[in-house]
Amino acid sequence: MNKEIVLKRLKTVEGHVHGIENMVDEGAYCVDVIRQIQAIQGALNKITSMILDDHLNSCVITAIRGEDPSERERVLKEISELFITSTKV
């Protein structure tokens, strides 16, 4: 994972959250606030995808290629749990 890119994106999201706080405080039009929230959700989804991709291409591959069957099962169970959690949202 490119830590600097992820951190930059998170700082951008943080700035947008503060912007939404100001919009709410100033009584901005509800639909405009919702659109900004959706934009943040999209940005967070992109960050999640970046981190997950890195995890799959490093930790998971290492565990699958490794000699420890319990480690393989553990990382596969984690991925399964992430998928289950993401489909509930």
Task: Give the angle subtended at the CA of 37 by the CAs of 45 and 55, to the nearest 5°.
Answer: 15
CA distance 82 to 89: 11
Given a cut of 70, is residue 89 above it in pLDDT? no
| Per-residue pLDDT tens digits for 52-71 | 999 999 999 999 999 999 99
Percent of the chain whose pLDDT exceeds 70: 99
* pLDDT value at residue 87: 84
Mean pLDDT to the nearest integer, 36-64: 95
What is the number of domains present in the chain?
1
The predicted model scores a pTM of: 0.84
Q: In CATH, what number is assigned to the domain containing residue 52?
A: 1.20.58.1000
Q: How high is the mean pLDDT of the chain?
A: 95
Domain range for 59 is 3-88
Mean pLDDT to the nearest integer, 3-21: 97
